[in-house]
Amino acid sequence: MANTPAKTTKTIYVLNGPNLNLLGVREPETYGHATLADVEKLCVTTSARFDLKAECRQSNHEGELVDFIHEAHANNAAGIIVNAGGYSHTSIALRDALMAVKIPAVEVHISNIHARENFRHHSLTAGAAFAMLSGFGIDGYRLAINGLAAKLGLTAKA
Protein backbone atom coordinates (compact mmCIF):
# COMPACT_ATOMS: atom_id res chain seq x y z
CA MET A 1 0.00 0.00 0.00
CA ALA A 2 1.45 3.36 -1.01
CA ASN A 3 1.88 6.13 1.54
CA THR A 4 -0.65 8.85 0.97
CA PRO A 5 -0.23 12.33 2.40
CA ALA A 6 -2.39 13.15 5.40
CA LYS A 7 -5.42 15.32 4.73
CA THR A 8 -5.06 18.91 5.87
CA THR A 9 -7.55 19.87 8.55
CA LYS A 10 -9.59 23.05 8.83
CA THR A 11 -7.56 24.10 11.87
CA ILE A 12 -5.12 26.96 12.02
CA TYR A 13 -2.77 27.50 14.92
CA VAL A 14 -2.47 31.01 16.32
CA LEU A 15 0.76 31.11 18.31
CA ASN A 16 1.71 33.97 20.59
CA GLY A 17 5.09 34.25 22.23
CA PRO A 18 6.60 35.82 25.32
CA ASN A 19 4.87 38.64 27.15
CA LEU A 20 1.82 38.58 24.92
CA ASN A 21 -0.11 37.24 27.92
CA LEU A 22 0.40 40.77 29.32
CA LEU A 23 -1.43 42.52 26.48
CA GLY A 24 -3.67 45.25 27.85
CA VAL A 25 -1.28 46.11 30.67
CA ARG A 26 2.17 45.94 29.04
CA GLU A 27 3.16 49.21 27.38
CA PRO A 28 -0.35 50.17 26.22
CA GLU A 29 1.10 53.15 24.33
CA THR A 30 2.85 50.60 22.07
CA TYR A 31 0.54 47.56 22.16
CA GLY A 32 -2.85 49.10 22.91
CA HIS A 33 -5.42 48.13 25.52
CA ALA A 34 -6.72 44.90 23.97
CA THR A 35 -5.98 41.73 25.91
CA LEU A 36 -4.81 38.34 24.72
CA ALA A 37 -8.40 37.14 25.24
CA ASP A 38 -9.51 39.88 22.81
CA VAL A 39 -6.92 38.68 20.27
CA GLU A 40 -8.07 35.09 20.62
CA LYS A 41 -11.75 36.04 20.25
CA LEU A 42 -10.89 38.03 17.11
CA CYS A 43 -9.01 35.04 15.68
CA VAL A 44 -11.79 32.56 16.44
CA THR A 45 -14.43 34.85 14.90
CA THR A 46 -12.36 35.66 11.81
CA SER A 47 -11.39 32.03 11.23
CA ALA A 48 -15.01 30.91 11.47
CA ARG A 49 -15.87 33.17 8.51
CA PHE A 50 -13.71 30.83 6.40
CA ASP A 51 -14.98 27.63 8.07
CA LEU A 52 -11.66 27.36 9.91
CA LYS A 53 -11.06 26.63 13.59
CA ALA A 54 -8.46 28.73 15.40
CA GLU A 55 -6.38 26.81 17.94
CA CYS A 56 -4.91 29.63 20.05
CA ARG A 57 -1.79 29.07 22.15
CA GLN A 58 0.58 31.34 24.09
CA SER A 59 3.87 30.59 25.79
CA ASN A 60 6.74 32.51 27.28
CA HIS A 61 9.02 29.54 26.55
CA GLU A 62 10.78 29.07 23.22
CA GLY A 63 10.79 25.27 23.36
CA GLU A 64 7.07 25.14 24.04
CA LEU A 65 6.43 27.33 20.98
CA VAL A 66 8.55 24.89 18.93
CA ASP A 67 6.42 22.06 20.35
CA PHE A 68 3.23 23.90 19.27
CA ILE A 69 4.61 24.17 15.73
CA HIS A 70 5.38 20.43 15.75
CA GLU A 71 1.88 19.76 17.09
CA ALA A 72 0.40 21.80 14.22
CA HIS A 73 2.30 19.54 11.83
CA ALA A 74 1.24 16.34 13.62
CA ASN A 75 -2.39 17.50 13.49
CA ASN A 76 -2.17 18.46 9.79
CA ALA A 77 -3.00 22.10 10.45
CA ALA A 78 -3.94 24.19 7.43
CA GLY A 79 -1.85 27.14 8.56
CA ILE A 80 -0.08 29.01 11.32
CA ILE A 81 -0.39 32.62 12.45
CA VAL A 82 2.62 33.45 14.64
CA ASN A 83 3.55 36.39 16.79
CA ALA A 84 6.76 35.15 18.36
CA GLY A 85 7.26 38.45 20.19
CA GLY A 86 10.91 39.02 21.08
CA TYR A 87 11.81 35.56 19.81
CA SER A 88 11.14 36.83 16.28
CA HIS A 89 14.45 38.65 16.46
CA THR A 90 16.51 35.91 18.10
CA SER A 91 15.15 32.42 17.57
CA ILE A 92 16.77 30.24 14.97
CA ALA A 93 14.93 27.33 16.61
CA LEU A 94 11.51 28.80 15.83
CA ARG A 95 12.57 29.64 12.28
CA ASP A 96 13.86 26.09 11.79
CA ALA A 97 10.64 24.61 13.17
CA LEU A 98 8.49 26.72 10.84
CA MET A 99 10.70 25.79 7.88
CA ALA A 100 10.63 22.09 8.79
CA VAL A 101 6.86 21.68 8.97
CA LYS A 102 6.13 23.36 5.62
CA ILE A 103 2.80 24.75 6.82
CA PRO A 104 1.77 28.12 5.33
CA ALA A 105 2.53 30.73 7.99
CA VAL A 106 1.97 34.43 8.47
CA GLU A 107 3.99 36.42 11.00
CA VAL A 108 2.17 39.17 12.92
CA HIS A 109 3.51 42.03 15.02
CA ILE A 110 1.11 44.34 16.83
CA SER A 111 3.52 47.29 16.69
CA ASN A 112 5.48 48.50 13.68
CA ILE A 113 8.81 46.78 14.37
CA HIS A 114 10.55 49.04 11.83
CA ALA A 115 9.58 52.17 13.75
CA ARG A 116 11.11 50.84 16.96
CA GLU A 117 14.58 49.99 18.25
CA ASN A 118 17.11 48.84 15.65
CA PHE A 119 17.32 45.31 17.07
CA ARG A 120 13.62 44.83 16.27
CA HIS A 121 14.01 45.70 12.58
CA HIS A 122 15.07 42.18 11.60
CA SER A 123 12.94 39.10 12.14
CA LEU A 124 14.55 35.68 11.85
CA THR A 125 11.16 33.98 11.79
CA ALA A 126 9.66 36.15 9.02
CA GLY A 127 11.77 34.32 6.45
CA ALA A 128 9.91 31.11 7.28
CA ALA A 129 6.52 32.75 6.63
CA PHE A 130 4.96 33.60 3.27
CA ALA A 131 3.87 37.00 4.65
CA MET A 132 4.43 39.35 7.56
CA LEU A 133 2.19 42.08 8.98
CA SER A 134 3.44 44.76 11.33
CA GLY A 135 1.88 47.81 12.92
CA PHE A 136 -1.85 47.18 12.50
CA GLY A 137 -2.47 46.55 16.20
CA ILE A 138 -4.46 43.43 16.95
CA ASP A 139 -6.27 43.91 13.64
CA GLY A 140 -3.11 42.43 12.11
CA TYR A 141 -4.35 39.01 13.24
CA ARG A 142 -7.59 39.47 11.27
CA LEU A 143 -5.62 40.58 8.23
CA ALA A 144 -3.25 37.63 8.62
CA ILE A 145 -6.13 35.14 8.76
CA ASN A 146 -7.72 36.76 5.69
CA GLY A 147 -4.40 36.46 3.85
CA LEU A 148 -3.87 32.88 4.96
CA ALA A 149 -7.39 31.97 3.83
CA ALA A 150 -6.70 33.54 0.43
CA LYS A 151 -3.44 31.55 0.17
CA LEU A 152 -5.45 28.40 0.95
CA GLY A 153 -8.04 29.29 -1.70
CA LEU A 154 -10.85 29.84 0.80
CA THR A 155 -13.53 32.49 0.60
CA ALA A 156 -15.51 33.98 3.45
CA LYS A 157 -19.01 32.73 4.13
CA ALA A 158 -21.75 35.22 3.35
For residue 58, give every residue at least 6 positions away whose Cβ sits within 8 Å of its Cβ, in sequence order, or none: 15, 16, 17, 20, 21, 36
pLDDT band at 149 (very low <50, low <70, confident <90, very high): very high
109 is a catalytic site residue? yes
The verdict on residue 40 lying in a domain is: yes
**Distance from C-alpha of 138 to C-alpha of 134, rounded to nearest angstrom:** 10
Burial class (CB in 10 A: 0-12, 13-18, 19+), 155: exposed
**Distance from C-alpha of 130 to C-alpha of 150, rounded to nearest angstrom:** 12
Given this model, what pLDDT does residue 1 score?
46
Given this model, what pLDDT does residue 120 score?
58
Q: Which of 13, 31, 87, 141 is catalytic?
A: 31
CATH number, domain of 29, equals 3.40.50.9100
70 is a catalytic site residue? no
For residue 119, give every residue at least 6 positions away whose Cβ sits within 8 Å of its Cβ, in sequence order, or none: 89
Average pLDDT, the chain: 91
pLDDT band at 158 (very low <50, low <70, confident <90, very high): confident
The verdict on residue 71 lying in a domain is: yes
**Distance from C-alpha of 53 to C-alpha of 57, rounded to nearest angstrom:** 13
The verdict on residue 6 lying in a domain is: no
The verdict on residue 38 lying in a domain is: yes
The verdict on residue 4 lying in a domain is: no
Domain that holds residue 61: 11-151
The verdict on residue 46 lying in a domain is: yes
Answer whether residue 51 shows pLDDT above 90: yes
The verdict on residue 22 lying in a domain is: yes
pLDDT band at 63 (very low <50, low <70, confident <90, very high): very high
How many folded domains does the chain comprise?
1
Q: Helices (DSSP H) in 75-138: which residue ranges?
A: 92-101
The verdict on residue 118 lying in a domain is: yes
What mean pLDDT is predicted for residues 103-130?
A: 83
Q: Helices (DSSP H) in the chain: which residue ranges?
A: 28-31, 36-48, 62-74, 92-101, 139-151
Q: Which of 13, 87, 109, 141 is catalytic?
A: 109
